[in-house]
Amino acid sequence: MIEYVSALLISSIIGIIAAIIGLGGGFLFVPALTLVFGLDPRMAIGTSLATMVFTAVSASFFYRKQGLILYKVAGVLMIPAIPASMAGSYITTLIDARIIVLIFCLMLMLISLEMLLPRFRFLKDVRFGPSFVLTACIPNQCCQPVNRVWYSHLIVWGVMGGLLSGVTGTSGGAVFVPALLTAGIPLHYAVATSMFAIIVVAITGASVSIAYNQIAWPLVAFFGAGAAAGAYIGTRIAPAITESRIRMIFGIFLLCIAAIMFQQEVLAGF
């Protein structure tokens, strides 16, 4: 009983953080499931992916009410992210996964620097082919114009987010949010849109884990309930937090994600 109460409390805290910064929470779910609850890493990744569905659906439901989800942007991100996620899972069977994870760790560190240092730029705005113009409107407030967004930009970074998800069992949000910011989309819209896109990516990854019987269902029930409640709280808190503060939180957590991935996936093999 204490185990399941702990699962509710831990997942609630993770859900709050995930909703505020636009990540699925897998970067914290996986370590919690392995270190606190003693799950095998593969079982932890599958359970984390299933739990992220609850986090993303709950956060998206309330962000939709706030009018912050850009559905067209999320749709274009999702389409390449799904096959890329599957490809990432397959790639790990062909080459040493530590090499891929090391590359992603370096990329996450550079993205974190972009969040923490205003003048540092790593993610590029990909501009070729067709594009469209967005106008982001918050209910009962003025519309906020958004820069022209290129489909190529969303496709390229959708692929990168999908690969990150497939290789590491996370959501891809660590790439989605900074990529949307680079495209000129305001941060609160980027966070909400990322959470919505994560729904499909998490379902895809969880489906693969179900096929291989790599999900601890009792923990999914409690983690999912806690994560959904935490995500609701996070969506209520997020609008009151300034963009600069969220950027700082996001950057710090990306550094933590890179450190955790490096320790668990790279150093563990030596």
pLDDT at 34 over 60: yes
In this predicted structure, which of 74-88, 132-146, 246-260 has the lowest mean pLDDT? 132-146
pLDDT at 265 over 80: no
Please state the domain extents for the chain: 2-269
**Given pLDDT bands bounded at 50, 70 and 90, which one contains residue 138?**
low
User: Which residue's structure tokens are 């729904």?
Assistant: 199
Residue 223 near residue 25, CB atoms below 8 Å: no
Mean pLDDT rounded to a whole number for the chain:
85
User: Which residue's structure tokens are 């990322």?
Assistant: 194
Tell me the pTM.
0.86
Segment (H or E) for 131? strand 131-137
pLDDT at 27 over 80: no
In this predicted structure, which of 152-156, 179-183, 232-236, 253-257 has the lowest mean pLDDT? 253-257
Cα→Cα distances 111→22, 198, 204, 208, 253, Å: 14, 19, 25, 28, 11
For residue range 207-218, list pLDDT tens digits in order.
888 888 888 998
